[in-house]
Structure 1
Amino acid sequence: MNTNTKTTMLYNKGALQNETLIDLYKRMLLPRMIEEKMLILLRQGKISKWFSGIGQEAISVGVTYSLNKDEYILPMHRNLGVFTTRDIPLNRLFSQWQGKANGFTKGRDRSFHFGTQEYNIIGMISHLGPQLGVADGIALANKLKNNNHACAVFCGDGGTSEGDFHEALNVASVWSLPVLFCIENNGYGLSTPTSEQYNCEHIADKGIGYGMESHIIDGNNILDVYTKVSELAESIRNNPRPILLEFKTFRMRGHEEASGTKYVPTELMDAWAVKDPLDNYREYLITNGILTNTIDEEFRNEIKNNINENLKATFEEDVISSTIEKELNDVYQKTEYKHVSENSETENIRLIDAISKGLKQAMEQNDSIVVMGQDVAEYGGVFKITEGFIELFGKERVRNTPICESAIVSAAYGLAINGMKAVMEMQFADFVSTGFNPIVNLLAKSHYRWNQKADVVIRMPCGAGVGAGPFHSQSNEAWFTKTPGLKVVYPAFPYDAKGLLTTAINDPNPVLFFEHKGLYRTIYQDVPTDYYTLPIGKASLLKEGKDVTIIAFGLAVHWALETLKKDQNISADLIDLRSLQPLDTDTIFTSVKKTGKVIILQEDSLFGSLSGEISSLITENCFKYLDAPVKRVASLDTPIPFAGNLEKEYLPKHRFENELSELLAY
């Protein structure tokens, strides 16, 4: 043991060479000096905001230094040392913070809210917790690839209060995923002390509840961090399992600089100030003859010049500009639809069979597809879509999940980041609310923010008419058609369901695939037996007429067909949208311009629904062709009742015929 009376820490160099000891020092010194410069620029008004990691450099540097460069690491906004230790050029980091084009997000996101596949870093979102689930997905892909890679993800003590923390640790433990959960316990979540965040002595104690190995590490001791994490990373490469690491440290600055630190007792700040990871380590190196003041000064001058040169280049860089076209085109990853024609042999099957066969044939074509969901393995899912899949593809690719929708959506994103494809079954579309955050803030924004595809399909069994009550009956597509970056598909027939599902799986963008439970076993159709595709974003014109345009999707299509069959004197265009986002406005507008009257029929409740958007689009683009106001027919603006007679009154089917007659008579 090497000790030094001038420091408050004990350092054990073990078998580490002096070159390594010096390199660790320089790698801590760099982010410290960058931060000191940023704080000056902040006071000068040259940058807008800063989240300081001063006093926590040993964790960021030590963990990153312990991993191989081809292993993923998922930092937070106080982990500058992760980015610098991965040797990201300073001019690119500075451009990112300035919102310049040379950064990583084209000015669309700030600070450390970015990822880069080039450096195997996956940046955070402000919701913090989903990052842990993303690490699960990355680690799962590593395990399935059998590539002996570790993965590390950061979280603060405050973030451990989020449900995503508990979900991610549980999933990682159940699946024995090779991931290091690195918790920086720095005393405060913004101004809330740890005593008000959790009621156990150590965060590491929480590992016990998940059957997970855990360790407490002095987060201010760079040698303890590096040697221990190196050992554990090597261990999980060879023996995949998750490990919870609690790094004891302290946040010496405010949550962000505007917050200040007035809420922190002075004696606590003083106690941690003497534990500064950089100052103590410098004293240790100098006392033991590994570093001299002269060499240290040379390091500092070199880093200072490097920082100033790159800052100068960044400030001289043009303010970023874009066009409406560029911004819109970057919401989705561009994909060319590859049409696969259907074969001539067909079989008369139900909608549920078509979905199952489409998924099975897609999995046969693409070994990287992993199906995840509650009870999807041996049980085959509650609707039996994946029945028999275990025998065909094995439990590695057909995975039962714990009941934790948020972590599984995040893990699906992690699989996509690590080059695989996830098809997640949301047991009921209603349950998506507990996975809403990663869908709308990770999947939807991924490509626009940092050019990363979110190659995920989420299957959504939905809909009423089966007496399932308020929690198993919603048609909640409007939650997602509103969110740029998501695609939403809603087939009404077996033929469409199979072809659109295979296309959704081929699409690199996130797709929510709605499947109406009431249609699963009631609608039959002749469907090609082999694999084929249908284009997303193209509606189907089921009937042609001259007097009115009927627009519907899902179960509502069949209500409209029943009405037209009952009164064959009605001459109508019947449009089955099939795809809700993107929406086939060309087919809609062409029909409206021909008929002059429009009625939109949907199962969802009326206010704030997709029918309102369609109505507005028609009014804005086809107003001069209209012979009557656009009419909308939808369910009541109430939750969905359970009792059969109440549910019947809730749904708009029995009101549609009268509304259609009134429109035709207008």
Structure 2
Amino acid sequence: MTSTLLKFDRKNLTDDKLIELYKKLLKPRMIEEKMLILIRQGKVSKWFSGIGQEAISVGVTAVLQNDEYILPMHRNLGVFTGRDIPLYRLFSQWQGKANGFTKGRDRSFHFGTQEYKIIGMISHLGPQLGVADGIALANKLSKNGKVTAVFTGEGATSEGDFHEALNIAAVWELPVLFVIENNGYGLSTPTNEQYRCEHLADKGIGYGIESHIIDGNNILEVYTQLSDIVDSMRENPRPVLLEFKTFRMRGHEEASGTKYVPQELMDLWAVKDPVDNYRNFLKEEGLLTDAMDEQIRAELKQEIDENYQKASNEEPIEASLSEELNDVYKEFIFEEINSKNDSENVRMIDAISQGLKQSMERHENLIIMGQDIAEYGGAFKITDGFVNEFGKDRVRNTPICESAIVSAGMGLSINGYKSVIEMQFADFVSTGFNPIVNYLAKVHYRWNEKADVVVRMPCGAGVQAGPFHSQTNEAWFTKTPGLKVVYPAFPYDAKGLLATAINDPNPVMFFEHKALYRSIYQDVPKDYYTLPFGKASLIKEGNDVTIISFGAGVHWALEVLDKNPDIKADLLDLRTLQPMDTEAIINSVKKTGKAIILQEDTLFGGVASDISAMIMEECFNYLDAPVKRVGSLETAIPFTKALEDQYLPKSRFETALKELLEY
């Protein structure tokens, strides 16, 4: 009998538990062996093998409760089989069939399932670490004693999201099990080209996080050590960093091969195979005979073959245009709530603060996160006093790490909470761009999960703040299906639309122009009310021309019309850019025959370009002149007032409007 190379210590585990772990370990291995055949036959398009690493997935899943979330990566098949997902559904997923989890829209393990409390990865890797933070934060706020486990590889520890997520978990004492599978290579890049510390577990020291190094090929070491760690985390919520030493015996994915790996390294790890070594141990212990092993394998093979055949017999997905478009957003049935109270004349900043406060009162599961928003009240004092009323659990100062905080908002949403995230300035959203456009925006389309997150965006020029504090960057997000984009110009609209944004289970980018915060006053109801998305506001009516704008541009247009009372214009304030009230635009242009679009953003690639194209396509026969667009200069935003005034389109708008009228 072959002896084991690994040293197994059963501790107090029963014989039944030892055999159960073997079956859990063998199942993903046998599925993988079948997948390698299927991919050679061209029946599966891509496969990321976890052969040699099964003990980690199996062990982590085995120690967690079924209602505790796990966030695996693309070679953690043992997580999915460990949660007893019916195999035909996995095969359907890999074949792009309807019984999978993504309706054929995403492949392999890029999916999640609330039913099995598994939240799959995206290819950008890093954001899922912050998502785990958010899930764990929800658990901590709920005081339910649950632990969250999130997987990453040694390569992804180089990403900023890894460091941001560890820091947040440490500062907030979140019960997250950070699982690093150190398998030697990030695709083809070896560890000596990835990092210089001896052990990745040492990185926990820098964040004040407890860390451990575990033999990732030894199922008993994984299971017994994690059992103690996880039990302790439930009693004393805190993050723990685990580095599992293991090896990837196949390529990054099957097409890449392993030619870049020295053969002696492959040979060294081949004798440490987690399945073979554990099988030999069980035989040495007298718990497993060849006959028993053959019986276990036969039962697993039958289950695998039957489920594969069931998935193969499933009809291919037929494309449905309406279903594709309808699944971009989670259905939101707008509830119109009208004011029943008196109004008061307030600034835009006051209206936003009121709306946010009243939403906090209305939604006990609403969390606000952002830099300096707690005791300090935020850069613009919108959350001033909120800590005293709602407490620091719900009004949370964050480290300077926009990416992981956006991801944490996604995690809160997954685990039953709402969140509002304040970007200190809209410009800073660039460091949180990835999770917004690649996670929040796509998650419902990919696997039917909501992203109940509002990102507040103090934006705009006119306050001499220079290139890094003045952008109005709405076009970064109107381009991305799955996001809603709101951009009010008046206090009344800002308060009502913010309430709707928080009610909406879809991700909303909520733009707030800084120059309007304290300069624009309006009578605003004192109590809570909502306003619908996708409905423009007709500020002025006239037959000469249609002026279309939003944000500060609306006020610039009003100034020009007040200065030129002879110009009779329809002035449309769009209020929301996604969804956009195209019907109001078309109806107005058909009436006036002329259209001019004013935006603060630079002209090329901006919202005005799409509106102009839509008008040309829908209203061409009604036009008496070309559609005009007016925007800022094609430069960054300068600081000095004279340069900023030149940059902004305000001074050029009047000239362009008169030229259009004279056409």
Is it true that 1:262 corresponds to 2:259 in the alignment? yes
Identity percentage of aligned residues = 73
Give CA-to-partner distance per residue, 1:191-242, whole Å, 9 cap, x none.
Answer: 0000000000000000000000000000000000011111111111111100
Aligned with 1:22 (options 19, 23, 28): 19
Give the SS at the match of 1:479: helix
Give CA-to-partner distance per residue, 1:271-324, whole Å, 9 cap, x none.
Answer: 000000000000000111111110110111111111111111111110111311
Task: Tell me which residue corresponds to 2:646.
Answer: 649
Task: Tell me which residue corresponds to 1:55.
Answer: 52
Is it true that 1:203 corresponds to 2:208 in the alignment? no
Is it true that 1:320 corresponds to 2:342 in the alignment? no
Task: Tell me which residue corresponds to 2:32.
Answer: 35
Task: Tell me which residue corresponds to 1:342.
Answer: 339
Task: Tell me which residue corresponds to 1:500.
Answer: 497
Could you tell me which runs of 5 or more consecutive residues in structure 1 were left unpaired when the two chains were aligned: none
1:35-114 to 2 correspondences below 5 Å: 35-114=32-111
Aligned with 1:232 (options 229, 233, 236): 229
Report how far residue 547 of structure 1 moved.
Answer: 0.8
User: For 2:632 and 2:245, how far apart are their aligned partners in 1?
Assistant: 55
User: For 2:414 and 2:317, how far apart are their aligned partners in 1?
Assistant: 27
1:250-649 to 2 correspondences below 5 Å: 250-649=247-646
1:145-164 to 2 correspondences below 5 Å: 145-164=142-161
- Aligned-partner residue type, residue 470 of structure 2: S
Give CA-to-partner distance per residue, 1:615-635, whole Å, 9 cap, x none.
Answer: 111111111111111000000
Give CA-to-partner distance per residue, 1:81-113, whole Å, 9 cap, x none.
Answer: 000000000000000000000000000000000
User: For 2:166 and 2:2, how far apart are their aligned partners in 1?
Assistant: 40
User: For 1:619 and 1:583, how far apart are their aligned partners in 2?
Assistant: 16
Give the SS at the match of 2:631: strand
Give the SS at the match of 1:13: coil
Report how far residue 344 of structure 1 moved.
Answer: 4.0
User: For 1:448 and 1:231, how far apart are their aligned partners in 2?
Assistant: 39
- Aligned-partner residue type, residue 436 of structure 2: I
User: For 2:504 and 2:443, how far apart are their aligned partners in 1?
Assistant: 15
- Aligned-partner residue type, residue 282 of structure 2: L
Could you tell me which runs of 5 or more consecutive residues in structure 2 were left unpaired when the two chains were aligned: none
Give the SS at the match of 1:422: strand
- Aligned-partner residue type, residue 150 of structure 1: V
- Aligned-partner residue type, residue 236 of structure 2: N
User: For 2:508 and 2:649, how far apart are their aligned partners in 1?
Assistant: 27
- Aligned-partner residue type, residue 641 of structure 1: P
User: For 1:592 and 1:281, how far apart are their aligned partners in 2?
Assistant: 74
Give the SS at the match of 1:241: coil
Indicate the larger mover: 308-317 or 93-102: 308-317
User: For 2:18 and 2:304, how far apart are their aligned partners in 1?
Assistant: 23
Give the SS at the match of 2:81: helix
Give CA-to-partner distance per residue, 1:499-544, whole Å, 9 cap, x none.
Answer: 0000000000000000000000000000000000000111100000
- Aligned-partner residue type, residue 95 of structure 2: Q
User: For 1:125 and 1:520, how far apart are their aligned partners in 2?
Assistant: 37
User: For 1:234 and 1:532, how far apart are their aligned partners in 2?
Assistant: 46
Task: Tell me which residue corresponds to 2:656.
Answer: 659
- Aligned-partner residue type, residue 342 of structure 1: S
- Aligned-partner residue type, residue 523 of structure 1: I
Give the SS at the match of 1:180: strand
User: For 1:511 and 1:234, how far apart are their aligned partners in 2?
Assistant: 38
User: For 1:238 and 1:580, how far apart are their aligned partners in 2?
Assistant: 47
Is it true that 1:139 corresponds to 2:128 in the alignment? no
Give CA-to-partner distance per residue, 1:54-79, whole Å, 9 cap, x none.
Answer: 00000000000000000000000010
Give the SS at the match of 2:88: helix
- Aligned-partner residue type, residue 190 of structure 2: P
User: For 1:413 and 1:165, how far apart are their aligned partners in 2?
Assistant: 16
User: For 1:490 and 1:230, how far apart are their aligned partners in 2?
Assistant: 50
Task: Say if 2:367 and 2:418, in contact at 8 Å, map to a contact too.
Answer: yes
Give CA-to-partner distance per residue, 1:389-439, whole Å, 9 cap, x none.
Answer: 000000000000000000000000000000000100011000000000000
Task: Tell me which residue corresponds to 2:162.
Answer: 165
Give the SS at the match of 1:488: strand
Task: Say if 2:53 and 2:217, in contact at 8 Å, map to a contact too.
Answer: yes
Give the SS at the match of 2:499: helix
Give CA-to-partner distance per residue, 1:155-185, whole Å, 9 cap, x none.
Answer: 0000100000000000000000000000000
User: For 2:331 and 2:194, how far apart are their aligned partners in 1?
Assistant: 43
- Aligned-partner residue type, residue 256 of structure 1: E
1:211-226 to 2 correspondences below 5 Å: 211-226=208-223
Task: Say if 2:345 and 2:521, in contact at 8 Å, map to a contact too.
Answer: yes
Report how far residue 5 of structure 1 moved.
Answer: 7.5
Task: Say if 2:141 and 2:393, in contact at 8 Å, map to a contact too.
Answer: yes
Give the SS at the match of 2:269: helix
User: For 1:660 and 1:343, how far apart are their aligned partners in 2?
Assistant: 40
User: For 1:398 and 1:8, how far apart are their aligned partners in 2?
Assistant: 53
Say what the alpha-carbon RMSD is for the aligned residues. 0.7
Task: Say if 2:53 and 2:248, in contact at 8 Å, map to a contact too.
Answer: yes
User: For 1:89 and 1:663, how far apart are their aligned partners in 2?
Assistant: 65
User: For 1:87 and 1:344, how far apart are their aligned partners in 2?
Assistant: 54
TM-score between the two structures when normalised by the length of structure 1? 0.99
Number of residue pairs aligned between Structure 1 and Structure 2: 663
Report how far residue 343 of structure 1 moved.
Answer: 2.3
User: For 2:560 and 2:28, how far apart are their aligned partners in 1?
Assistant: 69
Task: Say if 2:2 and 2:280, in contact at 8 Å, map to a contact too.
Answer: no
Task: Tell me which residue corresponds to 1:121.
Answer: 118
